[in-house]
């Protein structure tokens, strides 16, 4: 730059400017020189190479979509598979007049208004040179009729595409999930992960459940075919092809028969059940009621069905085992008992005499036991068996909320279990820090008491409750829960079993575990809160019942009084493992608005355990449920209502 001076010399300025122009001109020359050299290289030096390529390049590269992996249960029962259907597809750029073409096509195949709507939407979403389906599921007759007339329709083709089907229907909805058409959000996700080119030709992607979580394994690697094409773009000859690598099959640890038995036991009731193998973390049954038919979603759900599912009071779309959160009620007590014993509180021969209520020192407020008049003399083991609230109020107070929450979190409360499915909620294990952050309020001593009996802020998912039960059954060793046990390569060829993974080892003394377990075994024996559940079982069941109060219903909803009453009822909870001395199955059952844990949720658990341990199938479901459960109720002692 010229030195700064107030008055500048215009001539000198212009001279500098011209120098700059010359410099710029030189850059232009160099750049154009590079281009010329590049043209020379491409069009002279490498001419023959590119000429050969161009010859071959009457070739178009056609993606070959890999077969999506199957999903099977532990016994090989198919939960998701593929079948071929004919689709009628149009490539808009090759069609002169789209409207005329579609009208002419209507004379050959049936095209409904909703087909047209979907076609318009898909067309807007895709490029002009991409083939867009107008109709799917053509009948053989329709396909043949079009084939004869194909010459009249340049740019229209019949393709055979793979469709996904879920033979188990409603029963697999939340577990298997479903696939749906790739939308903009999916597209962005694929672009981010760098998988976009592997999805050339793929229209569907996993949207929920295992289909979503294992999308990468299920999809496979897209292959390519080099096809010689004529001027219309029709394939004339296949020149070479790279075979696609089919997606991996998923073999689940789920026993779909067990699953069905549990679902039938639920009947029309809402709720969830998760059953685990405590030693390995394998999920044996994963039930969310009500379910829905995942097949509805595969090719885009129609608005009517969507509305019905989305607005149903029963909320069938909620994946309850992972996303339903409930107060654990008394099913929380065994874990509170473990916390107490580990902290050196309430070790036998400690016992209390229960007057039927608990009072904090210096307060006259009575925290009531569910049983008026109390349970008499109870030690920690018996407190579990009879679900004595008074005992646990005192224990919770002496432990304090921090120690209580800190210890039971080792059983998985308040955090995700890490199961192989997306969308898991972590529930809530309240602490004073949490309360002051969330509600800007101090923690009150009374809140510690009700936390001790599983009420208050505490929320658990059915998955967490099953996992905590499994950890207890497994003497404190927490295995990572998982739905998929083997990922099979090459369409069912060699499979790589997934090794069980230890998550955590809770430090528990064997004699403490024994106390709690004995208390839980007595629950299903005469005198326990679920004596009917254990009646006649040839194996020992350790269990705990629970009842969770329903806060209320949403205002302003219209449904009849009967429904309101029904939805006002308490949630019934039940956790169990069996055989008690060498557990092979641990489970948690929640029946929404079911009433009492022992009578509503317990029988479901018993049927599941009977089938899993004995191979015993329940009587056919046409025996009226009400009668059966009434019969069960008459046998039992008064229901705990804690």
Partner 1 sequence: MISLSLKRLTVHFDQFLLVVLTLTLLVALFILYSASGQSMERMTAQAVNILVALAVLWVFANIPPHHLQRAALPLYVLGILLLVGVLLFGDVSKGARRWLNLGVMRIQPSELMKIATPMMLAWYFAKREATLRFSDHIVGALMLALPVGLIVKQPDLGTALLIGASGFYVLFLAGLSWRLLVGLSVAAGAMIPLVWPLLHDYQRRRVEILFDPSQDPLGAGYHTIQATIALGSGGLAGKGWLNGTQSQLDFLPERHTDFIFAVFGEEFGLVGNLLLLLLFSSIIARGLVIAANAQTMFTRLLAGSITLTFFTYAFVNMGMVSGILPVVGVPLPLISYGGTSLVTLMIGFGILMSIQTHKKLVTS
- Indicate which residues carry an active-site annotation: 330
> Can you tell me the distance from the alpha carbon of 383 to that of 572, in angstroms, rounded to the nearest whole number?
20
DSSP 8-state secondary structure symbol assigned to residue 459: B
Beta carbon of residue 196, minimum distance to partner 1 (angstroms, whole number): 6
Beta carbon of residue 392, minimum distance to partner 1 (angstroms, whole number): 50
Quickly list DSSP for 565-595: HHHHSPEEEEEEEESSSS-SEEEEEEETT--
Q: Which of residues 57-76 bind partner 1 (CB under 8 A)?
A: 57-58, 60-61, 63
Q: Which is nearer to partner 1, 42 or 553 (CB)?
A: 42
The gap from C-alpha 525 to its chain's centroid, in whole angstroms, comes to 36
> Can you tell me the distance from the alpha carbon of 159 to that of 165, in angstroms, rounded to the nearest whole number?
18
Interacting residue with partner 1 among 12, 16, 363, 527 (CB under 8 A): 16
Type and span of the H or E element at 543: strand 542-548
Q: Which is nearer to partner 1, 75 or 193 (CB)?
A: 193
Radius of gyration of the chain (CA): 33
Burial class (CB in 10 A: 0-12, 13-18, 19+), 47: exposed
Beta carbon of residue 266, minimum distance to partner 1 (angstroms, whole number): 44
DSSP 8-state secondary structure symbol assigned to residue 7: S
Pair type for strands 571-578 and 542-548? antiparallel
Interaction between residue 231 and partner 1 (CB under 8 A): yes
How far, in Å, are 53, 289, 319, 561 from residue 566 at the CA level? 73, 16, 21, 8
Which range of residues in 10-18, 322-330, 332-340, 535-543 is near partner 1 by CB under 8 A?
A: 10-18
Interaction between residue 126 and partner 1 (CB under 8 A): no
Beta carbon of residue 84, minimum distance to partner 1 (angstroms, whole number): 24
Which range of residues in 21-29, 209-217, 306-314, 555-563 is near partner 1 by CB under 8 A?
A: 21-29
Burial class (CB in 10 A: 0-12, 13-18, 19+), 195: middle
Residue 109's Cβ-side half-sphere holds a number of Cα atoms within 13 Å equal to: 30
Q: Which of residues 178-217 bind partner 1 (CB under 8 A)?
A: 192-194, 196-197, 200
Q: Which of residues 358-397 bind partner 1 (CB under 8 A)?
A: none
Interaction between residue 21 and partner 1 (CB under 8 A): yes
Interaction between residue 3 and partner 1 (CB under 8 A): no
Beta carbon of residue 180, minimum distance to partner 1 (angstroms, whole number): 21
Beta carbon of residue 89, minimum distance to partner 1 (angstroms, whole number): 16
> Can you tell me the distance from the alpha carbon of 573 to that of 464, in angstroms, rounded to the nearest whole number?
13
Interaction between residue 40 and partner 1 (CB under 8 A): yes
Give yes or no for a contact between 141 and 168, defined as CB atoms under 8 angstroms apart: no
Q: Which is nearer to partner 1, 111 or 122 (CB)?
A: 122
Q: Which is nearer to partner 1, 57 or 82 (CB)?
A: 57
**# of chain residues touching partner 1 (CB under 8 A):** 50
- Phi then psi for residue 303, to 5 deg, are -60, -35
Beta carbon of residue 54, minimum distance to partner 1 (angstroms, whole number): 3
Interacting residue with partner 1 among 9, 12, 34, 490 (CB under 8 A): 34
Q: Could you count the other beta carbons within 10 Å of the beta carbon of residue 188? A: 11
> Can you tell me the distance from the alpha carbon of 73 to that of 538, in angstroms, rounded to the nearest whole number?
28
Interaction between residue 234 and partner 1 (CB under 8 A): no
Interaction between residue 49 and partner 1 (CB under 8 A): yes
Interaction between residue 241 and partner 1 (CB under 8 A): no
Q: Where are the extended beta strands (E) located within 70-110?
A: 71-72, 78-90
Pair type for strands 249-252 and 71-72? parallel
Q: Which residues bind partner 1 (CB under 8 A)?
A: 1-2, 4, 6-8, 13-14, 16-18, 20-21, 24-25, 28, 31-32, 34-36, 38-40, 42-44, 46-47, 49-51, 53-54, 57-58, 60-61, 63, 129, 192-194, 196-197, 200, 224, 229, 231, 233
């Amino acid at each position: 730059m010229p030195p700064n001076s107030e008055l500048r010399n215009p001539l000198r300025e212009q001279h500098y400017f011209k120098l700059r122009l010359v410099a710029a001109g030189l850059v232009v020359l160099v750049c154009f020189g590079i281009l010329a050299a590049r043209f020379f290289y491409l069009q002279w030096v490498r001419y023959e190479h590119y000429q050969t390529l161009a010859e071959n390049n009457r070739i178009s590269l056609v993606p070959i979509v890999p077969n999506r992996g199957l999903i099977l249960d532990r016994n090989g029962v198919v939960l998701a598979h593929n079948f071929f259907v004919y689709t009628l597809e149009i490539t808009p750029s090759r069609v002169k007049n789209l409207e005329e073409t579609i009208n002419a096509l209507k004379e050959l195949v049936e095209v409904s208004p909703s087909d047209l709507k979907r076609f318009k939407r898909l067309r807007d979403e895709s490029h002009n040179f991409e083939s867009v389906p107008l109709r799917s599921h053509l009948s053989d007759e329709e396909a043949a009729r079009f084939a004869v007339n194909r010459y009249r329709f340049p740019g229209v083709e019949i393709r055979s595409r793979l469709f996904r089907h879920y033979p188990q229907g409603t029963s697999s909805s939340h577990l298997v999930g479903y696939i749906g058409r790739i939308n903009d959000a999916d597209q962005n996700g694929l672009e981010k992960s760098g998988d976009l080119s592997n999805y050339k030709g793929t229209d569907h992607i996993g949207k929920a459940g295992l289909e979503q979580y294992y999308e990468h394994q299920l999809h496979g690697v897209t292959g390519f075919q080099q096809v010689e094409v004529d001027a219309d773009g029709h394939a004339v000859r296949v020149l070479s092809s790279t075979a696609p690598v089919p997606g991996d099959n998923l073999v689940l640890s789920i026993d779909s028969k067990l699953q069905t038995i549990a679902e039938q036991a639920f009947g029309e009731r809402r709720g969830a059940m998760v059953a685990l193998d405590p030693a390995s973390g394998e999920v044996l049954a994963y039930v969310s009621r009500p379910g829905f038919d995942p097949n509805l979603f595969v090719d885009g759900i129609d608005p009517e069905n969507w509305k019905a599912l989305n607005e149903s009071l029963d909320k069938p779309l909620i994946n309850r085992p992972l996303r339903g959160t409930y107060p654990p009620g008394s099913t929380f007590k065994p874990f509170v008992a473990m916390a107490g014993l580990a902290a050196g509180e309430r070790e036998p021969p400690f016992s209390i005499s229960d007057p039927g209520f608990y009072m904090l020192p210096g307060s006259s407020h009575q925290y009531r036991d569910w049983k008026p008049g109390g349970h008499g003399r109870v030690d920690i083991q018996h407190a579990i068996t009879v679900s004595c609230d008074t005992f646990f109020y005192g224990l919770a107070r002496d432990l304090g909320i921090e120690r209580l929450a800190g210890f039971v979190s080792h059983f998985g409360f308040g955090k995700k279990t890490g199961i192989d499915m997306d969308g898991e909620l972590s529930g809530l294990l309240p602490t004073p820090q949490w309360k002051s952050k969330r509600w800007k309020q101090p923690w009150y001593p009374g809140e510690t008491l009700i936390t001790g009996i599983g009420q208050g802020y505490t929320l658990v998912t059915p998955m967490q409750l099953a996992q905590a039960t499994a950890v207890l059954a497994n003497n404190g060793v927490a295995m990572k829960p998982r739905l998929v046990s083997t990922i099979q390569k090459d369409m069912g060829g060699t499979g790589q079993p997934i090794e069980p993974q230890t998550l955590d080892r809770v430090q528990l003394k064997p004699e403490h575990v024994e106390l709690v377990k004995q208390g839980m075994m007595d629950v299903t024996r005469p005198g326990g809160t679920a004596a009917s559940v254990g009646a006649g079982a040839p194996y020992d069941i350790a269990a705990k019942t629970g009842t969770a109060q329903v806060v209320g219903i949403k205002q302003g909803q219209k449904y009849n009084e009967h429904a309101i009453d029904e939805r006002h009822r308490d949630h019934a909870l039940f956790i169990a493992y069996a055989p008690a001395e060498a557990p092979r199955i641990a489970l948690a059952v929640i029946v929404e608005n079911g009433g009492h844990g022992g009578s509503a949720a317990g029988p479901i658990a018993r049927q599941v355990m009977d089938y899993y341990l004995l191979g015993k199938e329940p009587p056919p479901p046409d025996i009226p449920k009400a009668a059966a459960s009434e019969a069960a109720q008459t046998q039992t002692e008064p229901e705990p209502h804690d």
